[in-house]
Amino acid sequence: MAIPILNLKPEVEELWEELNQAVQGVLKSTQFIMGPNVKAFEAETAAYFGVKHSIAVNSGTDALIIGLRAAGIGPGDEVITTPFTFYATAESVSLVGATPVFVDINPRTFTIDTDLIEQAITPKTKAIIPVHLYGQAAAMVPILSLAKKYNLKVIEDVAQAFGGEYKSKKLGTIGDVGCFSFYPSKNLGAYGDGGLIITNNDQIAELARMLRVHGAKRSYYNELIGYNSRLDEIQAAILRVKLPHLEKWNDGRRRAARIYNELLAEASEVITPVEDPDAKHVYHQYTIRIRNGKRDRVKQHLDQAGIATMLYYPVPVHRLPVYKKGSPQLKVAEEMAGEVISLPIWPTIDRPTQETVVGEIKKALAQL
What angle separates helix 202-212 from helix 60-70, to the nearest 10 degrees?
130
195 vs 252, which CB is nearer to ligand PLP? 195
37 vs 89, which CB is nearer to ligand PLP? 89
Rule CB under 6 A: say whether 178 interacts with ligand PLP: no
| Contact letters for ligand PLP, residues 83-102 (x by CB under 6 A) | --xx-xx-------------
Please name the helix (run of DSSP H) or strand (run of DSSP E) that holds residue 147, with its range, or none: helix 140-150
Q: How far is CA 201 from the centre of its chain?
A: 22
3-state SS, residue 84: coil
| Contact letters for ligand PLP, residues 195-234 (x by CB under 6 A) | x---------------------------------------
Of 260, 257, 249, give the one whose Cα is nearest residue 357. 260
Rule CB under 6 A: say whether 187 interacts with ligand PLP: no
Sheet holding 340-343, edge to edge: 270-271, 286-290, 340-343
Asked whether 64 and 70 are in contact (CB, 8 A), the reply is no
Shortest reach from residue 61's CB to ligand PLP, in Å: 3
Of the residues 51, 103, 159, 211, which one makes contact with ligand PLP according to CB under 6 A: 159
Q: E strands of the chain, at which residues?
A: 53-57, 78-81, 99-102, 125-129, 153-157, 165-166, 169-170, 177-181, 195-199, 270-271, 279-280, 286-290, 340-343
157 vs 360, which CB is nearer to ligand PLP? 157
Residues 6+ apart with CB under 8 A from 2: 306, 307, 308
Asked whether 231 and 58 are in contact (CB, 8 A), the reply is yes
Of the residues 166, 183, 283, 313, which one makes contact with ligand PLP according to CB under 6 A: 183
Of 41-49, 95-103, 156-164, 338-346, which part binds ligand PLP (CB under 6 A)? 156-164
| Residues 46-85, interacting with ligand PLP (CB under 6 A) | 59-61, 85
Of the residues 80, 90, 128, 131, which one makes contact with ligand PLP according to CB under 6 A: 131
Shortest reach from residue 180's CB to ligand PLP, in Å: 8
Binding site for ligand PLP (CB under 6 A): 59-61, 85-86, 88-89, 131, 157, 159-160, 181, 183, 193, 195
